Amino acid sequence: MDNPLRSPILKGLEEYQNKSKLRFHMPGHKGTLPEEFNALAENLYSFDVTELDDTDDLYYPVSFLAESLNDLKKDRKSKESFYLVNGSTVGILSSVMGLLDPGDKILIESGCHKSVHNAVKLGRLKKVVLEQPSHKKGFPLPASEEKIFEILEEDKDIKMVFLTRPNYYGYASDIEKLAAYCSERGIYTIIDEAHGSHFVYSSLFPKSAVESGCSISINSFHKTMPSFTQTAVLNIGSLNEEDIQRVRSMLLMLQTSSPSFLFIASLDLSFRYMQKYKEKFLSLKKMIDLFLRKLENNIHISAEMDSEKDFTRILLYPKGNVIDMLSYLEKNGIYAEMHDENTIVLISTILDEERDFNRLYNTIENYKRSPSISSPQNKIHDNIGLPFLECEGKELLEDIYIYPPGSLYLEKGTILEKKHLVELAKFRKQKIRLHKSVSKNDDLLYVNIDK
Ligand SMILES: Cc1ncc(COP(=O)(O)O)c(C=O)c1O
C-alpha cells in the first residue's frame, strides 16, 4: 500500500485487510464494494460537501434529500424516517430523552445496549429493569409479552417500554399485542431494532417494529446492510405530531451540525440496493441451512437451526474452548462478530456467497487446536484504578459494559464481590472485551479505595 505520510491508521487498517479473508461481522457490506456504489466510491472527495444552495440540508430538507427521505419512509413503512449519522446510539438517546421528562419511569431490559443506560442517566429517568430469561447456552432471550403486561399492570407510572428486538443473537419476540396495549394506554413503545434493519425485505423475518404498531424503531443500517459504519435511521410508527417534533428537536441537539453527505449517500444507496436484491434472502437461507446441516455431526462445533431466530444470525457452539476455536478461525482469516463463554456469533448478509460458507465449513472441519494468543500482562501502570484482584469489597466507581454487544455488566456503585473478580478474570481469559466508563487499562478498576 502507498502510505507516504506513514499514517499508523492506514498501516493498522491495511494489516487487518491483509489478514481478513472472510468477515462474518459488521458492517454488512463485508468489505466488498457493490457495483451500484461505484459512483460514491470513486467520488469520495468530490461528493464530500456541506449544506449549500445547490446541495441540501439534512435537518431542513427541500430538494434531493427530501426526495430520498420520502423514499426511505416508504421503504421503512413509517410515518416519517430520519437519517442518523451518529449511529443508532443517537436515535436511542433522542427517542428516550425527547419523549420523557426527568423523573419519568421507563421499562428497560437487563441486557439492553449501553446507550439506553446512558439515555436514562442523561434524561434523569427512573428505570424499571426487566429481567430476561436465558437460552440453554446462557445468553439472554427476550422477555415474553405476558411478563411485560404483568409489570405494566402492576406499575401504572411506566411511560415508556424500551425493548431490543432482535437481540444480539437474532431472537425477536412478538410485540404486536404489546404495541396495541401500550398505545391504548399512552405508553410509548421504542424498539431498538439496530440489528433488524433487513426485516422489512422478506417474509422470512418477523414483522418490523413499525409494522407491528410500535411508536419508534431505530435501525443501524451499517450492521446488516451495505451502509458505512455509523449510519442508521430512526423511524416513526405511531406517534402524534407533537411527539414527533420533540424527538426531532432532540435529534437536532444531539447530532452533529455537519452531517456527512457520504454517510447519507451510503444510507440512501443501501436501502435501494436491498430493495433490488431482496430475493437474495431466499438463496442466503438455503446456503445457511445447508451449512448448518453439514455441521450436524461435526466433532468440533455444534449449531442448530432455530426457527425462532433470525436465520442470518449464525450461532456456533464450539465443543471445546471457545477462544481456541476463535483464534484458529482468525489465524485462517475468518473473523466473527462476537463471542461469549459458549457461543460464537456470526453476522451474515446478502453480500455473503456460497464459497464463503464452504470456506467456513472446510476450515471448521480441519480444526486443529493451537494455543491461543499469549495471556495479558498483569501489572501495567495507569493513573486511575486498582488491579482488579485487589478490589474485593470495594465500591466500583464506573460502569462496566461487555463489548460487543455493549450490555451493562456491572453498574457504578456495585460493591465488588469475589464472584465479580473471578468473573472478570474469566472474561480476560476468554478475550471478552470490556468497555469501562473511566479506567482504560483492562486489569484495573476505578474503585473507592476507602471502602
Ligand atoms: C442492540 C444495539 N443497540 C444499539 C447499538 C448502537 O448502535 P450504533 O453503533 O449504530 O450507534 C448497538 C451497537 O452495537 C447494539 O448492538
3-state secondary structure the chain: CCCCCCCHHHHHHHHHHHHCCEEECCCCCCCCCCHHHHHHHHCCCCCCCCCCCCCCCCCCCCCHHHHHHHHHHHHHCCCEEEEECCHHHHHHHHHHHHHCCCCCEEEEECCCEHHHHHHHHHCCCEEEEECCCECCCCCECCCCHHHHHHHHHHCCCEEEEEEECCCCCCECCCCHHHHHHHHHHCCEEEEECHHHHHHHHCCCCCCCCCCCCCCEEEECHHHHCCCCCCCEEEEECCCCHHHHHHHHHHHHHHCCCCCCHHHHHHHHHHHHHHHHHCCHHHHHHHHHHHHHHHCCCCCCEECCCCCCECCCEEEEEECCCHHHHHHHHHHCCEEECEECCCCEEEECCCCCCHHHHHHHHHHHHCCCCCCCCCCCCCCCCCCCCEEHHHCCCCEECCCEEECCCCEEEECCCCECCHHHHHHHHHHHHCCCCEEECCCCCCCEECEECCC
Q: Is the pLDDT of residue 381 over 70?
A: no
128 in the same domain as 104: yes
Last residue of a domain, one of 298, 330, 365: 365
For the segment 301-326, the average pLDDT, to the nearest whole number, is: 94
Domain with residue 341: its CATH number is 3.90.1150.150
Q: What is the pLDDT of residue 451?
A: 60
Q: What is the pLDDT of residue 378?
A: 37
356 in the same domain as 238: no
The domain in which residue 443 lies consists of 386-448
State which of 108, 110, 113, 165 you would mutate to test the pocket of ligand 1, scoring each by most atoms of that ligand within 8 A of its C-beta: 113
Which of 97-106, 254-263, 420-429 is predicted least confidently? 420-429
Q: Is the pLDDT of residue 234 over 50?
A: yes
Q: Is the pLDDT of residue 405 over 60?
A: yes
Tens of pLDDT, residue by residue over 6-63, are: 999 999 999 999 998 999 999 999 999 999 999 999 999 999 999 999 999 999 999 9
403 CA → ligand 1 middle, Å: 10
- Confidence tier at 339 by pLDDT (50, 70, 90): very high
296 in the same domain as 272: no
427 CA → ligand 1 middle, Å: 21
Residues with CB under 6 A from ligand 1: 87-89, 113, 115, 164, 168, 192, 194-195, 220, 232, 404-406
Kindly report the average pLDDT of the chain as a whole number: 94
418 in the same domain as 338: no
80 in the same domain as 63: yes
Q: Which atom of ligand 1 is nearest to the CA of 222?
A: 10
Which of 87-91, 128-132, 265-269, 400-404 is predicted least confidently? 400-404
Tens of pLDDT, residue by residue over 68-79, are: 999 999 999 999
Tens of pLDDT, residue by residue over 184-202, are: 999 999 999 999 999 999 9
Q: Is the pLDDT of residue 383 over 80?
A: no
Q: What is the pLDDT of residue 449?
A: 73
88 in the same domain as 196: yes
Look at residue 206 and tell me if it is in a domain: yes
With a pLDDT cut of 70, the percent of the chain lying above it is: 96
Q: Is the pLDDT of residue 370 over 80?
A: no
For the segment 300-304, the average pLDDT, to the nearest whole number, is: 93
Look at residue 243 and tell me if it is in a domain: yes
Last residue of a domain, one of 250, 276, 302: 276
Q: What is the pLDDT of residue 377?
A: 40
Q: What is the pLDDT of residue 371?
A: 53
Q: Whose CA is nearest to atom 9 of ligand 1?
A: 87
The total number of structural domains in the chain stands at: 3
Q: Is the pLDDT of residue 376 over 60?
A: no
194 CA → ligand 1 middle, Å: 6
220 CA → ligand 1 middle, Å: 7
Q: What is the pLDDT of residue 87?
A: 98
**Which pTM does this prediction carry?**
0.90
